[in-house]
Amino acid sequence: MVRRTKSLVIDGATAPTMPRFIKPQLATLKAKVPKGAQWLHEIKYDGYRVQVHLNKGKTTAFTRNGLDWTKRFSVIAGALDLPGQAIIDGEVVVIKDGRTNFSELQAELAAGRQDRLVFYAFDLLWRDGDLRKLTQLERKQALLDLLGENGVEPPVLYSEHLTSDGQEMFEHAAKLGWEGIVSKKANASYRSERTEAWVKIKTVQKGKFPVIGFVKDPTGVAALYLGKRVGKDLVYMGKVGTGWSRTISGQLRKQLDTVVSPKSRLTRPIKKPKAVWVEPSFTAEVEYRDITSEGLLRQSSFKGLKRA
């Protein structure tokens, strides 16, 4: 149950008119974690970016593109029934096996369910006035105060951060299978664009999968179909269609043309009209983000091909 408190204007807040929607700030992808005391580090959540607007008793949830998804997130909106005006930036997720899982989130939304949805709040853009010119740390403290003073409980959670070694946090995220981390400049204001004041560093998983087929293109391959050995079975794991140059594409085609098969070697055949099936004589090394609830590779990228 939310405990209502008197709305207070935060020092530094400006502008009396609350906007309908604020274009979100986006993070720039980087390969390495930034160093220095000027950075704070948060977990990168694998979900839907959501901006929640609280306006004198009315709560609205917007997607990152400004679509009104309040009905889909009505339980979260109800948990943020707070006095006054506020705009909270965050991510809606579903947690499975200790980490956020985008495929599970999609399944929940497709089924019209909300009982597993969690909203991680990580920024406060408005509190009875514009807070975007405040520093990142000031905005996060204001957010923590807002949630704490009003007794906000799950499914709304405050997104914690670290100000110590970001590399250690990243390595921990990789071990636990999280998507990565987001590092933010502690003294930066909020800007509605992709900036280097926010940087994201993603973890990836690697695996080797038998190539079971391919899709032709004029000079090589457009995609590889992949499988996985499960006991005596060869099961379908999805496809990979990125990670090679035109030259590599042609080389892949030459290698796979030598092992073309009249039919799929999967234990359970699948319908892929454009597929050229091959004997599983080659193994593709692939980086991928996750495995979906259907057992397919997500966000896969080709790294190499070896004879099995």
Check: CB of residue 233 under 8 Å from CB of residue 265: no
- Angle 59-181-287 from CA coordinates, rounded to 5°: 115
How many angstroms separate the CA atoms of 146 and 86, rounded? 9
Tokens of 242: 């990125």
Check: CB of residue 129 under 8 Å from CB of residue 9: yes
CATH, range 26-202: 3.30.470.30
**Residue 227 pLDDT > 50:** yes
How many angstroms separate the CA atoms of 97 and 93, rounded? 13
Check: CB of residue 39 under 8 Å from CB of residue 164: no
DSSP letter for 112, please: T
Question: In this predicted structure, what is the pLDDT of residue 141?
Answer: 98
Q: Return the domain boundaries, the chain.
A: 26-202, 205-307
Check: CB of residue 229 under 8 Å from CB of residue 289: no
Instruction: Pick the closest to residue 148 from 124, 183, 131, 116 (CA basis).
Output: 124
Q: What digits encode the pLDDT tens for the residues 229-263?
A: 999 999 999 999 999 989 999 999 999 999 999 99
- Residue for token pair 């694998």: 46
How many angstroms separate the CA atoms of 137 and 156, rounded? 20
Q: What digits encode the pLDDT tens for the residues 53-103?
A: 999 899 999 999 999 999 999 999 999 989 999 999 999 999 988 889 887
As a whole number, the mean pLDDT across the chain is 92
For residue 3, the Cα-to-chain-centroid distance in whole angstroms is 32
Rounded to a whole number of angstroms, the CA Rg of the chain reads 23
**Residue 16 pLDDT > 80:** no
| H or E stretch covering 137 | helix 136-149
| Alpha-carbon distance values, 281 to 30, 42, 198, 215, 277 (Å) | 36, 43, 44, 17, 11
* Assigned architecture for domain 205-307: Beta Barrel (2.40)
Q: Is the pTM of this model over 0.95?
A: no
pLDDT band at 9 (very low <50, low <70, confident <90, very high): low
Tokens of 172: 């921990």
For residue 17, the Cα-to-chain-centroid distance in whole angstroms is 32
Check: CB of residue 15 under 8 Å from CB of residue 51: no
How many angstroms separate the CA atoms of 306 and 251, rounded? 12
Question: In this predicted structure, what is the pLDDT of residue 53?
Answer: 98
**Residue 106 pLDDT > 80:** yes
